[in-house]
Structure 1
C-alpha cells in the first residue's frame, strides 16, 4: 500500500462545507480556501500535497443521483490519468455517502489508486464539528498508505466502501460495517466492467416486502419502466409465497428482461433461498441472491452492470460473483 503524495480532493457539497442561510444550512462553494486556511493552522500535520476540484453546483447529498455518480467517477479518472494524482479524497454529504461509496466501488473497478470518501455530521467551523477530524484523518490515511479500491473514512475508522452503511444520526460515529455473512467466488474484473467502461443512467428501484403487499403494488413498480429491482426480502430470502399473483408479477417482469435481485432486509441478514420453501418459490421467479450484500452495494452493483449496457443474462452472471469484496471477505 504505497503512500499517496499528490491527491485529488473532490468536493461535491454536503454538510461538511455547508454554511448558514436564511433558509437553513445550504451547500456552499469556496471550500478550498477554508481547507487551506485550516491546514495552515496545523503545521505539525503530515499531509500529502493536494489539488482541489469542485463539482458544480455543490449539492445536499439528499439530492444525489446516478448522474452525480457518473460525474464523480469521471472527475476521479481525470485526476488520476490527466493530472497524475496517486490518491483521491471525495468530500460528500452523509445522507447518501454509503450509497456513493458503494457505487464508486463498482464504477472504478481496476483503478490503481485508492479512493477515500468522507464527510461530517456537523459543518466545518461549527463548535464540536467532526469535519476537520474526518477530513484530515482521511488525508493522513492516504499519506500512510491505503489499499486500492474505494474506502469510507469516518470517526477515525477506515471501512470498505462496498460494505459500509450509515447506522445513525444522533452520534458523530454515524457509519459502520455490520457483520453480514459473505459467500461468493471472487473473480478477476473483466475489461468490460473496469473503470474505463462508459456507463449511462438506468431506471432502478428498491422495494421492501412487508405484510400486506399486493401484486398490484409490486406491478406499479415493475411496470414503471425499471430495468432492475432490488427486492428486500424477509430474513434469509423469504416472502409471501402463497400469493400466486405476486409471484406471477415477478416472473412476467423477469421474462420482459427486468433484472431481479434479492437481499435481506435484516441488518445482519443473508439470503439463502434453499433454507425455506418460501424462498425457493421466490427464486423460481428469476430472483438472483445478493447473499449478504447491503442495500447500498446491491443498488450500486446493479447500476454499474446495467449502466454498462450488459444484457440480462450477463448482469445476472456478474451480480452472482464477487468483484470487489461485496460478496466475499
Structure 2
C-alpha cells in the first residue's frame, strides 16, 4: 500500500543526538532540521506529521516499558490520527530488538511501520542519517505491505529477522541466513491483536558456555523469571551430562517457566533430534525456537507472556510462525 499520510515518531537515538561534555546525548529539534533539509533537497514526499516521544532515549536504555510506549504511539497514529504509515526513528544499539518486539506487539497492524536510525547524527559531516530518513519516507510512499520493517542503508529488512552486525559500518544491519520453516498460524487469539495491551514480564537471555554453572541458572529462575531464551550450541546442544542442569530445567518447566532454545550460530537453527545432548534438553521442557534470532525470540516471548497467556498457550504460539519469524515465505 502506498502511504500518503505519515506519522514520524522520534524516540531518540544517534540520529538526532548532539554533543555534550559527556559525549553524544539525545536532543530535541530534529523536526525543524528535517523540514529544512526537505525544503532544500527533497520534493514530492508524502505529507507527514512529527511527534517527539518523551523522554528521548539513548536506545541502550530501552526497556520493556519503552516498547509498550512505542506500541501505544503507533496505535495512536493509526487508530486516532488516521495515518496510513508510520516511521519510527530509533537508536541503533537496540533497533533490531525493538523492531522484533513491535513485530509481535503489533500483530494485525493494518499499515506499515518502518524503523530506522543512523550511525552518525544528522549534524555530522557525511552522516548516513539523511539517506536513511528520506529513503524510508520514499519507501513508504512507493508502497509496502502492512507489517513491521527495519530500513537501513537502502535495505528493507523484516522486522522479526534483522540483527545488528556492526558497531560502526553504515550497512550495520542484515537478516541472518538462518533456516526458517514450520507451520504458519492462519489466525491469532484476540489477546494477541495489536489493539490489546500488554504487561512487562521478567525474562532472561542466557548463552551456554563451557563451564556453565547450573546453580546460577537455578538462582535466576527462582527469582521470578517467567521465560528464558537459552542460547544453545549448534543445533541445540548443551552440557546434557550435567544432572544439575537437567534438574534445574525440569523444575523450572514444572513451575510454569517457558524455556525457549535458539542457536548461538549466525547460520544456526535448532533441531534437537540431531544429537542425544539436544534431545535430553528437549525432554526437560526446552522448546525449539527454530531459526529465530535472539531479538525475535525475546520479543515474541515478551509479547506472548505479556498478553497474559499461560505456559501451554505460550509454547503453542511460540512453535508457530506468526509474522515471518519462522518462515521466509510468510507475508508480513
Scaled to the shorter chain, the TM-score interval is over 0.9
- Give SS of 2:130's match: helix
8 A contact 2:119–2:168 mirrored in 1: no
For 2:35 and 2:122, how far apart are their aligned partners in 1?
A: 13
Partner of 2:149, secondary structure, is strand
Measure, in 1, the Cα distance between the counterparts of 2:270 and 2:287: 10
| Matches for 1:132-281 after TM superposition, within 5 Å | 132-190=130-188, 191-281=190-280
- TM-score with structure 2 length normalisation? 0.97
**Which position in structure 2 is the counterpart of 1:20?**
19
Asked whether the 8 Å contact 1:109–1:189 carries over to 2, the reply is no
CA distance in 1, matches of 2:20, 2:213: 44
1:107 maps to 105
Q: Of 46, 59, 66, which residue of structure 1 is paired with 2:44?
A: 46
Distance 1:90 1:35 in 2: 14
Query: Which runs of 5 or more residues in structure 2 are unaligned?
Result: none
Which residue of structure 1 lines up, in the alignment, with residue 121 of structure 2?
A: 123
How big is the shift at 1:170?
A: 3.0
**1:54-87 Cα distance to aligned partner (Å, 9 max, x none):** 1101010000010110001001001001111000
Residue 85 (1) aligns with residue 83 (2): yes
Are the aligned partners of 1:47 and 1:140 in contact in 2 as well (CA < 8 Å)?
A: yes
Asked whether the equivalents of residues 235 and 271 of structure 1 are also in contact (C-alpha less than 8 Å), the reply is: yes
Structure 1 length-normalised TM = 0.98
Q: 1:12 touches 1:58 (CA, 8 Å); kept in 2?
A: yes
RMSD: 0.8
Task: Measure, in 1, the Cα distance between the counterparts of 2:230 and 2:143.
Answer: 37
SS in 2 for 1:279: helix
- Cα deviation, 1:232-279, whole Å, max 9, x if unaligned, reads 000000000000011100110111111000000101100000110000
Is residue 9–residue 52 contact of structure 2 (8 Å, CA) maintained in 1? yes
Preserved CA contact (<8 Å) 1:229 1:258 = yes
Answering whether residue 321 of structure 2 is matched by residue 322 of structure 1, we say yes
Distance 1:31 1:131 in 2: 11
Q: Does the Cα contact within 8 Å between 1:107 and 1:195 map onto a contact in 2?
A: yes
d(CA) in 1 for partners of 2:284, 2:108: 33
1:150 is paired with a residue of what secondary structure?
strand
1:97–1:23 CA distance, 2 compared to 1 (3 A): same
- Measured after TM superposition, the shift of residue 8 of structure 1 is 0.7
- For the residues of structure 2 that align with 1:291 and 1:282, how far apart are their CA atoms? 15
The size of the alignment, in residue pairs, is: 327
Q: Is the 8 A contact 2:263 2:269 kept in 1?
A: yes
Please give the secondary structure, in 2, of the residue aligned with 1:41.
helix
What residue is the counterpart of 1:35 in the other structure? Answer: 34
SS of equivalent to 2:171: coil
Structure 1 runs (4+) deviating above 4 angstroms are none
Per-residue deviation, 1:218: 1.3
Judge conservation of contact 1:46–1:140 (CA < 8 Å) in 2. Answer: no
Aligned-residue offset at 1:160: 0.3
1:188 is displaced (CA, Å) by 2.2
Asked if residue 65 in structure 1 is aligned to residue 63 in structure 2, the reply is yes
Query: C-alpha distance in 2, partners of 1:157/1:56?
Result: 28
Q: Does 1:294 align with 2:290?
A: no
How far off its partner does 1:31 sit? 1.3
**Where does the alignment leave 5 or more consecutive residues of structure 1 unmatched?**
none
Query: Could you report, residue by residue, the CA deviation over 1:90-126 in whole angstroms, capped at 9, with x for unpaired residues?
Result: 0000000000000000001001100000000000020
Q: Secondary structure at the match of 2:113?
A: strand
The CA distance in 1 between the partners of 2:128 and 2:44, in whole Å, is 19
Assess if the C-alpha contact under 8 Å between 2:270 and 2:291 holds in 1.
Answer: yes
